[in-house]
Amino acid sequence: MRKIQMVDLQGQYQKIKDKVDTQLQEVLNSSAYINGPEVHAFQKDLENYLDVKHVIPCANGTDALQIAMMGLGLKPGDEVITVDFTFAATVEVIALLQLTPVLVDVEKDTFNIDIEALKKAITPKTKAIVPVHLFGQCANMEAVLDIACEHNLFVIEDTAQAIGANYTFKNGVTKKAGTMGMVGTTSFFPSKNLGCYGDGGAIFTNNDELAHTIRGIVNHGMYKRYYHDVVGVNSRLDSLQAAILGIKLPLLDGYCEARKKAADYYSKAFASNKNIVTPVIRDFSTHVFHQYTLQITNGQRNELHQHLLDNQIPNAIYYPVPLHSQKAYADERYNEADFKVTNELIDTVISLPMHTELDEEQLKFITTTILNFIK
């Protein structure tokens, strides 16, 4: 059996090596490392894939979130609601911009924003909601957008884990994750579903004015060369990364399909075990399985984590500490009773190896090892 990896970037690269090596050599020959033609070409390809008017590439997914918030003109003290159960980048940029993060609990079965908790958290100071499409499945966007509309709030979708997922509204309209709110952001970190070979990110919007504002912000606040109208940042996707992404984007749906196949194998294997809860997929969203995350409900999560490591099966706890309990984000405003689900999930979740190169022999070994341990 091939060695099991949490993410198999090497195996995936080997399948596209010739194309990637040729394209990278072309960039090297041209020496157009910044803003080369590959960046513009990828931007257009991604606009087409997502069916969105504007894609603005940038340096990483954290920058994408920060720049989206800067572009919306949010001001210190404005409250931004996001989830307690996500990667810290989401809340980090809110705090960095001196906005006030308001963390809310998630749904136990989907790990995504809890709509009732969201409603409860809205105050006159609330300006924006950041739903995170965690682990590859869209949050309940129909409800989020209705609430945002009612209270006149911006919706910023953190799509770092869900690029390629589809959301279907009650009226039958289907949209890509990241294109439903005012603005969406993603990350091309190597292990993400659409990953480059370094750092990268992008911002999506259908709003012409916001796109224009953001294009200036990513480039030192310049709309005309050496005229700085607003305080900006330097955040670029470089040409080498764009060249890689240009090759991988047409493969993204196939990559998502391969992940789904592995997920289906796992879920089928664990279906009748009463101590293992498998991922729940809502009717309104597809799931692109950035992570395949189980809940172990018999108290043996930590033992399982160790048992798998002892058997050379990598696995991870996403996430071990709720954001409201992190030193950097703890705040006396928070009340433990409001985070019942997140407080429970941190003790039960475990994410299994998930990538495009898992084969049946590996999946069988992983599932039997787990089922022999969790009875």
Ligand X SMILES: *Cc1c(COP(=O)(O)O)cnc(C)c1O
Q: Give 38 or 92: the residue with its C-beta nearer to ligand X.
A: 92
| Whether the Cβ atoms of residue 199 and residue 173 lie closer than 8 Å to each other | no
By CB under 6 A, name the one of 160, 242, 276, 313 that touches ligand X. Answer: 160
Share in percent of the chain as helix, strand, coil (round to 5): 40, 20, 40
Beta pairing partners, 67: none
Q: Least distance (Å) from ligand X to the CB of residue 133? A: 8
CA Rg, the chain, in Å?
21
Tell me which residues in 79-118 interact with ligand X (CB under 6 A).
Answer: 86-87, 89-90
By CB under 6 A, name the one of 43, 100, 126, 161 that touches ligand X. Answer: 161
Q: Give 154 or 318: the residue with its C-beta nearer to ligand X.
A: 318
Both tokens assigned to 147: 């609430």
Nearest to 82 by CA among 105, 111, 66: 105
Q: Give 89 or 121: the residue with its C-beta nearer to ligand X.
A: 89
Q: Least distance (Å) from ligand X to the CB of residue 310? A: 28
Q: Give 54 or 290: the residue with its C-beta nearer to ligand X.
A: 290
By CB under 6 A, name the one of 132, 139, 147, 276 that touches ligand X. Answer: 132
Tell me which residues in 51-80 interact with ligand X (CB under 6 A).
Answer: 60-62
Q: How far apart are CA 84 and CA 16, in angstroms?
A: 38
Q: Give 126 or 161: the residue with its C-beta nearer to ligand X.
A: 161
78 Cβ neighbours under 8 A, 6+ residues apart? 99, 100, 125, 126, 127, 128
CA 299, distance to chain mean position in Å, is 28
Q: Give 198 or 221: the residue with its C-beta nearer to ligand X.
A: 198
Q: Give 147 or 196: the residue with its C-beta nearer to ligand X.
A: 196
Q: Least distance (Å) from ligand X to the CB of residue 150? A: 26
Beta pairing partners, 296: 276
| Whether the Cβ atoms of residue 290 and residue 310 lie closer than 8 Å to each other | no
SS3 call for 222: strand
Q: Give 71 or 201: the residue with its C-beta nearer to ligand X.
A: 201
| Whether the Cβ atoms of residue 313 and residue 304 lie closer than 8 Å to each other | no
Q: Least distance (Å) from ligand X to the CB of residue 374? A: 27
Could you tell me how many residues of this chain bind ligand X (CB under 6 A)? 15
Q: Give 107 or 276: the residue with its C-beta nearer to ligand X.
A: 107
What are the C-alpha distances in Å from 57 to residues 43, 78, 146, 181, 350?
A: 7, 26, 28, 18, 32
By CB under 6 A, name the one of 187, 193, 285, 286 that touches ligand X. Answer: 187
Q: Give 159 or 348: the residue with its C-beta nearer to ligand X.
A: 159
CA 199, distance to chain mean position in Å, is 14
Q: Least distance (Å) from ligand X to the CB of residue 264? A: 23
Q: Least distance (Å) from ligand X to the CB of residue 217? A: 16
Q: How far apart are CA 316 and CA 314, in angstroms?
A: 7
Both tokens assigned to 165: 């997922």
By CB under 6 A, name the one of 111, 135, 167, 189 that touches ligand X. Answer: 189
Q: Least distance (Å) from ligand X to the CB of residue 251? A: 20
Q: Does 278 bind ligand X (CB under 6 A)?
A: no
Nearest residue to ligand X, using CB?
61
| Whether the Cβ atoms of residue 151 and residue 157 lie closer than 8 Å to each other | no
Q: Least distance (Å) from ligand X to the CB of residue 88? A: 8
Binding part of the chain for ligand X, among 8-16, 156-164, 174-182, 304-312 by CB under 6 A, reads 156-164
Both tokens assigned to 203: 């911002």
| DSSP state, residue 287 | B
- Among all chains, which residue has been given the structure tokens 């409603």? 119
Q: Least distance (Å) from ligand X to the CB of residue 80? A: 14
Q: Which amino acid, residue 214?
A: I
Q: Least distance (Å) from ligand X to the CB of residue 51? A: 22
Q: How far apart are CA 83 and CA 50, in angstroms?
A: 25
Binding site residues, ligand X, CB under 6 A: 60-62, 86-87, 89-90, 132, 158, 160-161, 187, 189, 199, 201
